[in-house]
Amino acid sequence: MAVQLQRPPAAVVFLCVLTCGLSIPDPGQREALMQLEASMQTGGQVVLTDAERQLDALLFKMKQEETARTDFPPAMHFFRARDLIRTSPIFGLLQKMPKGGALHVHDFSMVDAEWLVKNATYRPHCYMCCTDSRSVRFIFSSQQPKPLPRCSSWVLLENLRDKMINATDLDNSILRNLTLFTDQDPEAVYPSQDEVWDRFEDKFLALWGLVTYALVFRDYYYQGLTQFYTDNVMYLELRALLPEVYELDGSTHNRVWALKTYQDITRQFMATHSGFFGTRIIVTIHRGVNASVMTEAVEEAMKLKKDFPDFMAGFDMVGREDRGRPLWYFRDALSLPVESGLPLPFFFHAGETDLEGTEVDQNLLDALLLNTSRIGHGFALLHHPVAKDLSRKRGVAVEVCPISNQVLKLVKDLRNHPAAVLMSENHPVVISSDDPGMFGTSGLSYDFYEAFVGLGGIKSHIGSLKQLAMNSIRYSSLTSEQQNKAMAEWQRRWNKFVSENVF
């Protein structure tokens, strides 16, 4: 549903009057300006009920106390701030809050990495080897697996643990290979964007053999739905590679099987979890491929969209923008849906970079030229006023993932995140968590905390939270009818949340 956002007409009139001549500063005009600015931020036009105003007063007091702290979490690296956030009363309230949908989440990082260690690696037939680069690889097999290049001999984890008095050290070592989160100084462990991205991508290689095993593949997705549902998220749009999934005997399943499995498990989950509105899949491919491979991927995606019209939302590319090929390189392949008349909505990652003026930096404009439905990250949007204006006028929401942008070293202090400006202007934005399993988070509440306390600052209020949650439904890929139903369910939950937390 495209939503056009306009400045309040009164703002234009007032500013014209204000600039007509010089005068002594007027307290009344000052107050009017402050109110005008407040009305233009995310949630500034939301009319609050009496109960919401009471809860807002409580939130404001909490935020004042939080902002006065010397160890202000949004100003710190998330890995150092996580424990502080967990003790925050604001965070506790946000966990209870119905947050609507998470529209930017990746398939193999949606689950807490500890679950992979405690669940997946404890299953029978799980083998592990250690790479030359001091990482690990996994495979499930009914017999001794074939050697893997640049990796040690495969070891059956079940046998290895049986020989240990205490397997905790082993489990902790495995965990460190499956997540970026560290108890050490994150600035020292990840001193540059190149370093953190190299480690980030290696973590995915480490967990690949675990999550592409058919039994784990199913359970991992179900666990992901459970963790988001527990965090009061009622809807997901999942970016999924649809990998080749394997069985214990080495036989494999294709992408159609993977998509159908996601659909079946979603239906199963919805049947047993009241109020969960479902999942839609955004099929992805790595942006490092060449033009011919991209053409094949788009053609396959168009067919999948035709075969799964209500479950598949669209198409995107994944991988580091700075090292991948720009969207313009793939323009012929990405024009195929329009040329063929087969709809394939795009949800492009664009602007996840600080390399201003480079070819990759043009991805924001190219994404809009290709009629993207939303913009993933959009960190560079403030450097592109034309793209920013088009995004606003077309109602193309920016999927803001604050913790991801900080961990991957685009911004240090989240108060300086470009989305702080977008929120001050009520630009269409949604908040999401990108790769929670990689960042030591779960669900959506941590990113909502950083957005509310860090990006929004002291000015953001309960109306901002309400608007962000509603945006996640309004800018979803759901049909208008589905959005109306989802909004009604969300509103019911919101009213209950407010009434239960007004003291």
352 catalytic residue (yes or no)? yes
Q: H or E element: which one contains 375?
A: strand 374-377
The 3-state DSSP class for residue 342 equals coil
Is 193 buried (19+), middle (13-18) or exposed (0-12) by CB count in 10 A? middle
Tell me if 232 sits within 8 A of 97, measured CB to CB: yes
Query: Both tokens of residue 443?
Result: 């669900």
The pairing of strands 374-377 and 312-318 is unpaired
Q: H helices of 318-474, where?
A: 331-334, 336-340, 363-369, 385-394, 402-407, 418-424, 436-439, 445-449, 462-474
DSSP annotation of 451: I
Q: Which of 52, 66, 321, 352 is catalytic?
A: 352
Query: Both tokens of residue 300?
Result: 């396959």
Q: Which of 377, 384, 417, 461 is catalytic?
A: 377
* Count of Cβ atoms closer than 10 Å to residue 343 Cβ: 12
Q: H or E element: which one contains 308?
A: none
* Count of Cβ atoms closer than 10 Å to residue 236 Cβ: 25
| CA atoms of 207 and 116, how far apart (whole Å) | 8
The pairing of strands 245-246 and 235-240 is unpaired
Q: H helices of 127-254, where?
A: 157-162, 168-176, 186-189, 193-211, 214-230
- Residue of 310, 298, 311, 307 whose CA lies nearest to 262: 311
- Residue of 427, 285, 303 whose CA lies nearest to 348: 285
Catalytic residues: 352, 377
